[in-house]
Structure 1
Amino acid sequence: MDQQGTGSDQLRTLVAELIGIEPEAVSGDANLFELGLESIVLMRLVGRFRKQGSKVTFADLASRPTVSAWTELVGAASRPVPHTPAREPEANQLDADTFDLAVLQHAYWIGRSAEQRFGGVSPHLYTEFDGEAVDPDRLRDALDAVVRRHDMLRARITDNGEQRIESIPGWRGLTVHDLRTEVDAAVELERTRQRLTHQMLNIESGEMFSVDLSLLPDGRTRLHLDLDMIAGDAVSFRILVADLARAYDGRSLPAIDYSYARYLADRPHDRRSARAQAERYWSERRDSLPGAPTLPLLERDSGTPTATRRAFHLDSQAYSALQSQARAHGVTPAVAVAAAFAEVVGAWSREQRFLLNVPMFDRAPTHPGVGDLVGDFSSSVMLDVDLSETLSFAERSRRLRARLHEDAAHVDYSGVEVLRDLGRRRGATVLAPVVFTSALGLGELFDARARQVFGNPVWIVSQGPQVVLDAQITELDGGVLVNWDIRENEFLPGVPDAMFDAFEALVRGLVADHGAAWREPVGQLVPPRQLAVRTPSPDVPRTDASPVAGTETLHRAVFDRALSNPVAIALEWDENESMTYGELCDRALRVAAALAGRGVAVGDTVGVTLPKGPEQVVAILGVLAAGGVYVPIGVDQPANRAALIARRAEFAVTIGGSGEDGLTVSDTILGEPLPAPHLGPDTAAAYMIFTSGSTGEPKGVVVSHRAAMNTIGDLIDRFALDERYRPLCLSELDFDLCTFDLFSVFAAGGTAVLIQEHERRDPQRWVSLIRSHRVTAISCVPPLLDMILSTGDDLGGSLEVVMLGGDKVGIDLYRRLTAALPGCRFAGLGGATETAIHNSICEVVDVDPNWRTVPFGVPLRSMAMRVVDARGRRVPDWVPGELWVAGTGLAEGYLGDPERTSDRFVVVDGYRWYRTGDLVRYGAGSMVEFLGRVDNQIKINGFRIELGEIASVLCDDPEVATAAAVVDRTGTPALMAAVVPTDPAADPSETVAGVFTRIVERLPAHMVPERMVALRALPLTVNGKIDSAAIVRQCRAAVDTERATARVAPRTHLERALALIWQSVLGVEEAGVTDSLFALGGDSVLATTIVARVRAAFDITSVTVRMLFTNPTVAGLAHNMIADQGTAKSLESTAEIYVSIESMSEDELLAALEQQHTR
């Protein structure tokens, strides 16, 4: 098609040929994407039109994808192509000379360093072909011909990050493995596969590819071909294989009168305006772009990188069906598969908006021979995927297509550059390690002759630095090969298989049900075996079943015990004080009679505000015996809050209160007792606890007898609690763990050991009571056990079980307790006031290395758990989500607040669920693991941050006993942290400095607290939970806990010279010698520039980017340079001259040079 030959008929024929349909099927106004036009084909068309002189762009064609519009666009944008002499390349871009790496090449080179996140691997594409009778000698000759033809196979990457074409190739030559007589040939083949799949070619010595040939029995052969992708992209790999087949056939491979170096120099001048426009486009979107998908990855160093392959093949019939369905819904097969991939990634990601790294193959038509070259012509697009809305699969695909076309239209500013900009903006390296590569539209993966010569490809795997998952689709055998290359050892167990299985099922579903899957949203993708173990048990009540009232109320057991064994001890306190069951119930009935005398009726609320001690117990039993609902109010509650609770709950009487409605227990002693307790149905409300509300006002949670007894009954049975059960009751009355302390004792027939009000903050006294009263159990929040263990006192030998709940349970507590009491059982319990104290349990026997804290575990009896994403869909194992709880233990709701009740208690799949707000995940063994709170997620500089994750990393530090991360929300949100040193005598400032040094290696920069303070103990609320507000106040007041300590000025001439170079390259006014390159806004490209400046300034070649990365500070680089040179003397002399020259003005410098010349 010549310059004037862009009429609609010719264009229709061209497009039909590229799509693979008849020209008659392409009407002038038909949407070409709906007909099957792939984006990669559109990019080639743009190149073709531009080569003929048209100024048309990808965006122009993508925005109006019809033949009629294109005819108009191409005609209007066409211009005669004047003859211009070839532009001379710059001096550093001549053939057979050193020239710069392309953008993606540079990213590959930096990323292969082991110091980089997800680094330590080379970008390479490895393929095995199973054929017959491939002759080693002919193959060697063919390889020699191919190496002569393609200069990038003779390239070498310098230690300064440049590339140079050598006359003598650096590859090791053909390696032949003769396995013709091997009994275990298959074993040897597998060893070769594993070795080559994970090899890292030595590109610094010019080893850009490797070729092995295995000779097998019966004349069979296997060709092993590996190409480092810094030398060539996937399209180049196909060219390489095709040329190798031609040369093997004895056909000549003429020299290409063009080179990759010249291509990099000759890219069209008019791309500059496109690049500027693309840069503006991405700059405008920069602040709104998301990060990478948060997949379930291991948090610690996973060791040697291991890439594994998973693949499936759609045959020609299935591919045809996919094309038809995609076309019918207005997208291409590539977009449909990309949408399926995005859905699967989203199902395993905490975030529902994320970046996918989409490579683009874009060879600009700079020369007729450019299509024959081997080199890296690829770029990438950072595709913004948003799954937050519930959409049909067809609509999801169409939106993804629109987003991809808009983003791809600005590919002149590559995805690598976008990531660098994001990193500078957000103060931390930003990666996009999940890749989707489509080669649909480029034809078969390997041409027919190559497969005839070398055989069919039986193994294809690629891996790349800073990539954890790379999905590829390409045409093969008339169908589509779908391949996943996964960095297996980065993922938590079972995740890669589960993701791939879900992806294959989703893709196959798109062609198997006549379009039904396209019309509906993608459902939950949890593997069936995971769902099977999460199904609620038959004893979990359904909403469609009518509840039957029972008689097991909280107080029935205590009154039954008073009748059957009135002299049994119910309560003990102090050293020798006690109260029998008979005495306790007699006093409670007297309180009940007094309440009845005050007009308290069944179902009325009664406030209880008494100090810790036996009167508390008498009071709440008295309320229940009167048929009332007790509402505890802590004696430390502010008067205004206590009054608000009283108004909300509409107290009939307040025991311990003042005024007309006040009643004291002592007032009732002389009165007559109620003849018998009121023992109503277990469905009646038993108590109401007011908890903090998001609005700042307390909310009253109404809990029935049945709900509370469900929790109590499970734990009594689980731990075989009986008359020997003697718990130490530590919890405050208005904290629901107190409900378990007391009523579990009465249900088991044991004895409650009480603490008095003056003892409730005295852990030494608690330990004394444990010993003197031979306490067998403790149920409390984790910080209280920490206080007990921290006393260092002997606990005696009576403790049999410790149950911790109400907050996250640290692994260290288990280790410390079992060290002190090896035979004591230890359990962590998950729960909330809305789920009647506890709803799940994990009894710790062995600690899983993946646990951050003791898991919530598994549901208690008659309870169920569900972990969901933001759209309410169940999530797979290891994926964070909100915990929902269903079952007998659920509260009735919130007093007088139907709107809040309907928001937090929802009916789904026939069960009533409480949305806990806890951020959890299913871990190994279907154990639910606590991660933090959903409302603990904050967003700073575009990053979503979970405070629990920061605290977990801090707690892992060897010098930290416990820690908490908080947010100062005054003004711009700022991260803060408090740590408790393991050594109480340690210097606080040294502890903080040491912790900062270590956590920067474990946490990305955006998750490192701005301030940190070392405390003797974490401040607690009255209920024993961490007091975040107090930590914020102490962090604000701490002057020694700034993360960036006072800037250290250069101390030597060498450091001064390096600091000047850093300031110039990074554009900062001052660079301290301990300031990190990356904290100052540096990245890998700027690091390369710094190294080049240093090498030029000091006339040494031993300084490398990797040397800088090992210690990215001025002081670190100076130290490494001295160590490399063996002496500081010459470096200091050169640096002194450099600093002197840099300090001169231009006039002073000219004068000095003139003076030197006259000498």
Structure 2
Amino acid sequence: MLERDLIRDLINVIDSYAENGGDKLAYHYGNQTNTYMDLKHYSDALAKHIDQMQLPKDSPIMVFGGKDFAMIATFIAVVKSGHAYIPVDIDSPTERLTLINEIAKPAAVIAVEALPVDLGGLPVISKKELAAIFSERISYQVTHAVSGNQTFYIIFTSGTTGVPKGVEISYNNLMSFVKWLVGNDFHLPAQLQMLQQPAYSFDLSVMSLYPTLFKGGTLHVLSKKITDNFLVLFTTLPTLPINVWVSTPSFVNICLLEPTFDAKHYPSLNYFLFCGEELTVRTAKMLKKKFPKAHVFNTYGPTEATVAMTQIEITDEILEEFDRLPIGYVKDGMHARIIDDQGNPVSDGTQGELEIYGTSVSKGYLNNPEKTSQAFLTHNGQPAYKTGDVATMRQDGLLRYYGRKDFQVKINGYRVELEDVAILVSKGKYVKQCVVVPKYNAQHQVSMLIAYIVPNKNRFNNELDLTAAIKSDLKASMMSYMIPQKIVYRKSLPLSNNGKVDIKSVISEVNLR
């Protein structure tokens, strides 16, 4: 049955669960539940409405909102109508929303939640209009859904000079990932009950979203309000009948602080999938102690390679063998090699930059040929991507990760380019000059971002008040995870021999032990 399903179209498979008993539960969010029949009705009605708008062929559509069921119904509708969707989270600053609009040039915006800014004459389906459309019951034939190498979704990541980059993921990219996740490398339960924790604008959300819908399972969704309130979080989590956990290691670290987060209180939870940042030996050992029979998987992959492309199950033997956990073996259809600064392959076990190529690699950055040409290339006739990650590859193909080649880091699972943050901080009226650096913990993870600032003359009596003012201004221009947690003030910043700010020396100063 599985092999036959894998060659079928994703949308047809999802719709089939409505046709074969539409009361099957697809989505559980707060006190609301929605079925596969709801998903089909909502997405059919919206897809027909989008068709009637006669938007330019293949043009993307922005979807703005949070975690409501209407978000995924909208995603499916957009794809049914032959367009790619761009998920933009409700917590995004208005400046980011405006930038994404300028870069992506979407044909329309679907406001699952009210837009905080006018996007200048762009067709908008409002929250009220969307509710009216979803209430319709119409007959819709899916004849021109996104397929093949057409773009399925576009995730905007951080980008240099403060400008985000839109990673285009095709239908073929996505299906290569979905087939892998529900296949023999993971052996997930037949009836998926998956945790859905990250925002839909974060590509880790795809790890739970489409594999679950493809298999006819149920997504159990946490809002940011729940995850930000530990009391509510630990009251909510035990009520969810999840059997597969998907999150960053940072999120499970929070949960491991709760004494009742264990196999006794979560009897169905037997699979943990981690991505987005480094899984440490310490976290894996704590988790296996609390869930001794669970399967714990470490995965790795940049957004440009469709969520993840390597995996390894973290067994007791792996924990004994490695002091820093490997990121695993590449999936079918993908390949990896380690290269030096000149682009030449290096020998087994030698550190170098990880270059990947194959079926999961994105076609590039939306409307950004310069950045696309810098990061994407062709190798052995297949699309390739230079990750910027330092890694080694054992003779048997096992990959190990050793951090970033450049000044891009991950904090709480989010990819952040330090230059981006520094540029945005430097725009503040109280800042004359700035550099932003990471502070690492003993597990090689970024524990915080620290801004070194040369301040402008100001009216504040102390540094505490100045810091509060700078951080208040930053809330309007960047996501909360990008805002430096600590600010250090200096009369000047160190310079390298070429006259540029010596960021490496600042990083060394911050991380001296």
8 Å contact kept, 1:777–1:800: yes
Per the TM alignment, residue 599 of structure 1 is displaced from its structure 2 partner at its CA by: 2.6
Q: 1:683 aligns with which of 137, 145, 149?
A: 149
Match status 1:964 vs 2:453: no
SS at match of 2:61: strand
Q: 2:59 aligns with which of 604, 610, 618?
A: 604
Per-residue Cα deviation, 1:531-574 (whole angstroms, up to 9, x for no partner): xxxxxxxxxxxxxxxxxxx9755433211222223221111222
> Residue 247 of structure 2 aligns with which residue?
780
Structure 2 Cα separation of the partners of residues 628 and 726 of structure 1:
29
Structure 2 Cα separation of the partners of residues 1026 and 806 of structure 1:
17
> Residue 792 of structure 1 aligns with which residue?
259
Q: 1:874 aligns with which of 325, 329, 345?
A: 345
> Residue 312 of structure 2 aligns with which residue?
842
SS at match of 1:879: coil
8 Å contact kept, 1:591–1:673: no
Per the TM alignment, residue 674 of structure 1 is displaced from its structure 2 partner at its CA by: 5.4
Unaligned runs of 5+ in 1: 1-549, 939-946, 957-961, 972-1020, 1039-1159
> Residue 654 of structure 1 aligns with which residue?
109
Per-residue Cα deviation, 1:580-607 (whole angstroms, up to 9, x for no partner): 1111111111121222233335422111
Match of 1:743, as an amino acid? Y
Per-residue Cα deviation, 1:150-173 (whole angstroms, up to 9, x for no partner): xxxxxxxxxxxxxxxxxxxxxxxx
Identity of aligned residues (%): 21
SS at match of 1:829: strand
> Residue 695 of structure 1 aligns with which residue?
161
Match of 1:560, as an amino acid? S
Structure 1 Cα separation of the partners of residues 8 and 158 of structure 2:
30
> Residue 279 of structure 2 aligns with which residue?
809
Match status 1:1030 vs 2:484: yes
Match of 1:838, as an amino acid? A
Q: 2:333 aligns with which of 862, 880, 883?
A: 862
Match of 1:713, as an amino acid? K
Structure 2 Cα separation of the partners of residues 898 and 725 of structure 1:
39
The number of equivalent residue pairs is 419
8 Å contact kept, 2:288–2:294: yes
Structure 1 Cα separation of the partners of residues 240 and 408 of structure 2:
44
> Residue 132 of structure 2 aligns with which residue?
667
Match status 1:824 vs 2:289: no
8 Å contact kept, 2:41–2:137: no
| Change beyond 3 A, Cα 1:963–1:638 | closer
Structure 2 Cα separation of the partners of residues 775 and 925 of structure 1:
34
Match of 1:662, as an amino acid? V
1:280-299 aligned within 5 A: none
| Change beyond 3 A, Cα 1:712–1:769 | farther
Match of 1:688, as an amino acid? I
> Residue 707 of structure 1 aligns with which residue?
173
Match of 1:559, as an amino acid? D
| Change beyond 3 A, Cα 1:903–1:747 | same
Structure 2 Cα separation of the partners of residues 1032 and 881 of structure 1:
32
Structure 2 Cα separation of the partners of residues 811 and 900 of structure 1:
35
Per-residue Cα deviation, 1:78-101 (whole angstroms, up to 9, x for no partner): xxxxxxxxxxxxxxxxxxxxxxxx
> Residue 563 of structure 1 aligns with which residue?
19
> Residue 955 of structure 1 aligns with which residue?
443
Structure 2 Cα separation of the partners of residues 969 and 1037 of structure 1:
6
> Residue 381 of structure 2 aligns with which residue?
910
| Change beyond 3 A, Cα 1:674–1:900 | farther
- Greater relative CO (CA pairs within 8 A, separation 6+): 2
| Change beyond 3 A, Cα 1:906–1:892 | same
Match of 2:283, as an amino acid? L
SS at match of 1:578: strand
1:375-524 aligned within 5 A: none
SS at match of 2:318: coil
Structure 1 Cα separation of the partners of residues 200 and 396 of structure 2:
35
1:23-62 aligned within 5 A: none
Per the TM alignment, residue 906 of structure 1 is displaced from its structure 2 partner at its CA by: 1.4
Structure 2 Cα separation of the partners of residues 1032 and 832 of structure 1:
27
8 Å contact kept, 1:600–1:628: no
8 Å contact kept, 1:691–1:701: yes
8 Å contact kept, 1:625–1:679: yes
Q: 1:736 aligns with which of 179, 183, 203?
A: 203
Per-residue Cα deviation, 1:1019-1047 (whole angstroms, up to 9, x for no partner): xx9xxx995752442xx289xxxxxxxxx
Structure 1 Cα separation of the partners of residues 449 and 134 of structure 2:
49
Structure 1 Cα separation of the partners of residues 227 and 326 of structure 2:
28
Match of 2:13, as an amino acid? A
> Residue 888 of structure 1 aligns with which residue?
359
Q: 2:68 aligns with which of 613, 632, 651?
A: 613
> Residue 468 of structure 2 aligns with which residue?
none
| Change beyond 3 A, Cα 1:555–1:849 | same
1:207-246 aligned within 5 A: none
1:1129-1140 aligned within 5 A: none
| Change beyond 3 A, Cα 1:675–1:1028 | closer
Match of 1:862, as an amino acid? G
Per the TM alignment, residue 892 of structure 1 is displaced from its structure 2 partner at its CA by: 1.1
Structure 1 Cα separation of the partners of residues 139 and 182 of structure 2:
30
Relative to its length, the structure with more strand (as a share) is 2
Relative to its length, the structure with more helix (as a share) is 1
1:1083-1102 aligned within 5 A: none
8 Å contact kept, 1:722–1:749: no
> Residue 635 of structure 1 aligns with which residue?
90
SS at match of 2:403: strand
| Change beyond 3 A, Cα 1:773–1:891 | same
Structure 2 Cα separation of the partners of residues 721 and 600 of structure 1:
39
8 Å contact kept, 1:605–1:631: yes
Match of 1:587, as an amino acid? Y
| Change beyond 3 A, Cα 1:830–1:853 | same
Structure 1 Cα separation of the partners of residues 387 and 110 of structure 2:
32
Match of 1:691, as an amino acid? T
How high is the TM-score relative to the length of structure 1?
Answer: 0.34
8 Å contact kept, 1:721–1:748: no
SS at match of 1:712: helix
8 Å contact kept, 2:241–2:268: yes
Per the TM alignment, residue 708 of structure 1 is displaced from its structure 2 partner at its CA by: 1.2
Per-residue Cα deviation, 1:1044-1089 (whole angstroms, up to 9, x for no partner): xxxxxxxxxxxxxxxxxxxxxxxxxxxxxxxxxxxxxxxxxxxxxx
| Change beyond 3 A, Cα 1:583–1:791 | same
Per the TM alignment, residue 768 of structure 1 is displaced from its structure 2 partner at its CA by: 3.9
8 Å contact kept, 2:67–2:199: yes
8 Å contact kept, 2:146–2:152: no
Structure 1 Cα separation of the partners of residues 7 and 446 of structure 2:
45
Match of 2:308, as an amino acid? H
Larger Rg: 1
Per the TM alignment, residue 923 of structure 1 is displaced from its structure 2 partner at its CA by: 4.6
Per-residue Cα deviation, 1:652-701 (whole angstroms, up to 9, x for no partner): 22111546622223131234535123434332110011111122101111
How high is the TM-score relative to the length of structure 2?
Answer: 0.75
| Change beyond 3 A, Cα 1:567–1:722 | farther
8 Å contact kept, 1:588–1:621: yes
| Change beyond 3 A, Cα 1:899–1:824 | same
Match of 1:700, as an amino acid? G
Q: 1:573 aligns with which of 29, 49, 67?
A: 29
> Residue 423 of structure 2 aligns with which residue?
none
Q: Which 4+ runs in 1 deviate beyond 6 A?
A: none
1:1066-1105 aligned within 5 A: none
Structure 1 Cα separation of the partners of residues 60 and 408 of structure 2:
37
